[in-house]
Amino acid sequence: MTISAFISGCASTGLSNSETNFFSKTNPWGLILFKRNVESPDQIKQLTAQFRAAVGRKDAPVFIDQEGGRVQRLGPPLWRQYPAAEAYGKLYDRCASLALRTARNVGRLMAEDLEEIGITSSCLPVLDVPQPGAHDVIGNRAYATRIENVMILARMHTIGLMEGGVLPVMKHIPGHGRSMVDSHKDLPIVKAKRLELETVDFPPFVAFADCPMAMTAHVIYEAIDSENPATLSRKVIRDVIRKLINFQGLLMTDDLSMKALGGTFAEKSKRALDAGCDMLLHCNGVLAEMEEVAAAAGPLTGKAMRRAKQALKARRKPLPYDKKAALKDLEAIMTS
């Protein structure tokens, strides 16, 4: 059966008959989970198995936002609490080598949590460089304010994740650190000049051009396209993401149900695909909206299909690691 070019959420801790039928009929490339979908490890194993059975693909990817800090869908008491990315940056200022080791070790621990329950990808690293006065929608989700620190800490965090068999999705390409509003609620408009964007905002993404997947920013960059946010902008995707940044991996939208994007779901979906996104992402689990996105998504073909296959090929079997040392590093950074 043809795979559809979208990733879908679901409503609860198990698939309803309607959702199972929907997934069987539309065959989305992947599933994304949120806190509403989380009850226990065994329940998530069952949910991911249900989804893969519905689409008939054992390797169908399952995603989650498991950054640490305030964006952590799996948390206590059943899973460990992890630090926000900013904690690595603060540790780096005190002891660079310890921060790099800790970022890698914590990434490895996070991967073990996910891989054990059938989740194949975590939507990290956050490569946005926060700017003074910007909205805290990014805030402590960013590793640092210095570009070089963002690059090296995110790299180590991601290495740990991939060594544990979990794929990263870098976000929010080409940069969300200047937004003055929360894109979940409104459309951010960035007025910075192009040279400033190329000097500060884009470099972390250039350094991660080898990442298998990336998630777009629902942000307008006036210096590049004054009318369309990156998700819906052919100029941003073609000239910045694909050419300047040279990212050739799978490009997915941020959540289409966020308020930053106007129009119907069919309209948003078509515009995103026309702009050059490979994959649509719809997260809230509302079936009527999911059906609209699915109808607009169409089949996963051509370059998008090749990029999707290549992304999944980047996943490896988990490597051995010193879990005791990793837990010690986690405890130290959480109590520092």
Please give the positions annotated as active site. Answer: 184, 254
Expressed in angstroms, the distance from the first to the final Cα of the chain is 51
3 closest CA partner among 50, 49, 54: 54
CA–CA distance, 219 with 181 (Å, rounded to integer): 10
Are the C-beta atoms of residues 126 and 143 closer than 8 Å to each other?
yes
Whole-number Å distance between alpha carbons of 40 and 76: 11
Burial class (CB in 10 A: 0-12, 13-18, 19+), 122: buried
Say which DSSP state 228 is in: S
Whether 208 and 169 have beta carbons less than 8 Å apart is answered as no
CA dist., res. 278 & res. 40, Å (int): 32
Q: What is the DSSP letter of 140?
A: G
Relative to beta strand 250-252, strand 213-216 is parallel
User: CB-hemisphere CA count at 13 Å for 48?
Assistant: 25
Closest CA to 64 of 37, 102, 40: 37
Which amino acid, residue 212?
Answer: P
Residue 58, exposed/middle/buried by CB under 10 A (0-12, 13-18, 19+)?
exposed
User: What DSSP designation does 282 have?
Assistant: E
Query: CB neighbours (10 Å) of residue 76?
Result: 8
**Of 215, 213, 238, whose CA–CA distance to 228 is shortest?**
238
